[in-house]
Amino acid sequence: MTDHLPASVPAPGAAAGPANAASAAPQGDVLPAAARPPGKYDDELDRLFGAGGPLAPAVGTFKPRTSQTEMAKAIAQAIADQKVLMAEAGTGTGKTFAYLVPALLWGGKTIISTGTKNLQDQLFLRDIPTIRAALRAPVSVALLKGRSNYVCHFHLERTLNNGRLTSRDDVGHLREISRFMKMTNSGDKAELTKVPETASVWNLVTSTRDTCMGAECQYYQDCFVMKARREAQQADVVVVNHHLFFADVALKDTGVAELLPSANTIIFDEAHQLPDTATLFFGQSVSTSQVLELCRDVLAEGLAHARGPDWAKVVTSVEKAARDLRLTFPEGGTRLSLPQILPTSAFFPALEKLKEELGGLITVLEEHAARAETIEACRVRAQELSASIDAWKPDSKKGKPAEGDEAAVLWVEAFNSSLQLHKTPLSIAPIFSNQREGTPRSWIFTSATLAVKNDFKHFSDQMGLTGEPAMTWPSPFNYGEQGILYVPTGLPEPNSFQYTDACVDIALPVIEAAGGRTFFLCTTIRAVNKVAERLREEFAARGLDFPLFVQGERGRTELLDSFRNAGNAVLVGSQSFWEGVDVRGDALSLVIIDKLPFAPPDDPVLAARIEVMEKQGMNGFMHHQLPEAIITLKQGAGRLIRDVDDRGVLMICDPRLITKPYGRRIWQSLPPFKRTRVQADVIEFFRPGTIGDAADLNA
């Protein structure tokens, strides 16, 4: 690739022809929209999504979009045929309505799974009620979250009685939660905005799979978790999130498993997140924090119901063993696969010691379990924790998991106060394929970023969907007129010591020209802190009155609200701001990305996957790392243009976009912005009086 990005020429791989045309993925068997045989619901969908249809008066900003209507037709056909469909819809297509309309009218019992709890709430509280009212669809809808989102009567009462709170904030928060419980119908902590979601007191008033008493609980009939599950059983449409869906498939604990047999349609929104989420839940993890929580509960229940043993002494030895295991690795950020842990490491004897002490605790609990249901519950938890730790067991061959686990990698992760043992599958495709077998139903996977240059192979291979139908609908936005892709010249290699400083230096004139209104997206927290530090200094030195918001200094929602309200702010963020963030209008006109978002090369699971791929004759970088980075980059780039009137610059600092042979594949997968490497072109784009005009970069 040359050192120049062709200006004002649509990137190869960008959709050709009419902006609303759909195209089929290379491996899919769905025909392009123009050649698709008419579906049984096509005429009805043309009416519903048309200018005179019911959606226009119900949604003030609704405008008919051919791409949205065609997407709805493809989804309706997949529902009717009980088939799989991978559906990529560019930003602005209106994919939420495109799947909700056919789902509410013809989907039967439908499960909709979203990427986050925030999106889940948005669907349940805003989008579905709007569509249901517009269509006058007689469907019942339920919201189902993981049990940690619902206040537990039993644990609240115990916490109120124990009074073991460590801060004044927790005392105030507990008072608010107690008040909330007298008024709420759902018990959903999202309704109680006075108590931050991150408040530590929530851990004391909610249950986990380990700490739930189940049908033995005195509050079982009033339990909010059980109530939510009963409502989900009876509802036509159930809204869940990916974590809940896969936690249930793996653990059979969240209520989704009871819904699956009767579901006719399953829709995954933000489906690009599924491989990571499924990998997390199809694997197994156990942590020293779980052991310490068990010890805390054993002490409380033992002292309350069985005064024979010296409970403090019993749990202290287990706590010490758990903490000693944590201390076998340095503080925070350590991720090592089994082969990377030296045979002489103190980790192995410390692990055996923890197993031994847990065994002693189980013996004591067995002797006194009959005295109280809560002690019996602690015994069951202790047995399960012990079994999980035993399962993390290598065989005599160095670095290999035990027999039968060849497709998994064993690794450890050290945090500041806990150590986690992970057993992670190298591929979820066979597991997920197995989950899809059985009752015929439709499976819809949709996102703005599923494909790499119109090719769904990376996603479909990961999810076991190879050969299934796939379609893509490009964004209705005119990217060539609305934005510029700017790759600056003169930057050092991304691994150089001075790289972040160089990025800030070259970004400052652009930020100033944009009048703030900037997202500065980084690939690491370290870079976030460095960029924020430099920008503070530079803004002060240059007299630039741009409010600076930094990830971690406040909650994500609060940061975004402040950013929107300021109108000239700069927000520096990492992973959580690369996707699921919608800032429309003039408040955001510049998105800067410091580096191409490649996964850390020392990631144990990634390293194991690449090793397996290369044994199969594939190139781990080209077949896995590069497609992953492209999909993540597409998400970050998608923050810039959110509406037909938005305008702005996407600035990618990483010189590898130009200098490496794979760079072409990356920028060809991005929206077809005009492109430049000349800073003056970008400054001109932001100049007052010209920002309303398309940048002329043909020269």
62 located within any domain: no
CA distance 671 to 676: 14
Spatial neighbors of 238 by CB under 8 A, at least 6 apart, are 109, 110, 111, 112, 141, 142, 143, 144, 232, 259
pLDDT for 580 equals: 81
Report the pLDDT value the prediction gives residue 214, as an integer from 0 to 100: 83
3-state secondary structure of 84: strand
Same domain as 672, residue 545: yes
Q: Is residue 564 part of a domain?
A: yes
pLDDT of residue 30: 39
Helix, strand or coil, per DSSP, at residue 88: strand
Residue entry with tokens 């779980």: 290
Q: How far is CA 62 from CA 23, 53, 67, 446, 547, in A?
A: 24, 11, 14, 21, 33
The confidence score (pLDDT) of residue 509 equals 96
3-state SS assignment for residue 576 = helix
Domain span at residue 525 reads 479-686
**For the chain, what is the domain count?**
2
SS (H, E, C) 22-74: CEECCCCCCCCHHHCCCCCCHHHHHHHHCCCCCHHHHCCCCCCCHHHHHHHHH
Q: Residue 259: what residue type?
A: L
pLDDT of residue 217: 87
The CA distance from 159 to 181, in Å, is: 14
Q: Which residue in 273, 632, 596 sits closest to 452, CA to CA?
A: 632
DSSP bridge partners of 383: none
Q: Are residues 411 and 486 in the same domain?
A: no
Specify whether 414 is located in the same domain as 491.
no
Which of 361, 393, 425 is where one domain is finished?
425
Strands, sheet with 284-287, edge to edge from the N-terminal-most edge strand: 284-287, 419-425, 408-414, 334-337
Within 10 angstroms of residue 44's Cβ, the number of other Cβ atoms is 18
Do residues 304 and 416 both lie within one domain? Answer: yes
CATH number at residue 376: 1.20.120
The reply to whether 674 and 554 lie within a common domain is yes
**Tokens standing for 210?**
């380990």
547 in a structural domain = yes
Same domain, 563 and 649: yes
Which pLDDT score is estimated for 597?
95
**What pLDDT sits at residue 244?**
86
pLDDT of residue 469: 95
What is the mean pLDDT, run by run of 10 residues, along the chain of 699 residues?
Answer: 41 34 44 60 93 84 88 96 95 93 96 89 92 94 91 91 77 91 91 84 87 86 91 93 81 64 93 92 89 92 86 93 93 82 92 94 92 89 92 58 62 90 91 85 95 92 94 92 94 95 97 96 94 96 95 85 94 89 90 94 85 88 92 92 91 95 92 94 83 36
CA distance 651 to 228: 45
3-class secondary-structure state, position 4: coil
Domain of 678, CATH number, reads: 3.40.50.300
Same domain, 392 and 318: yes
pTM of the full structure: 0.85
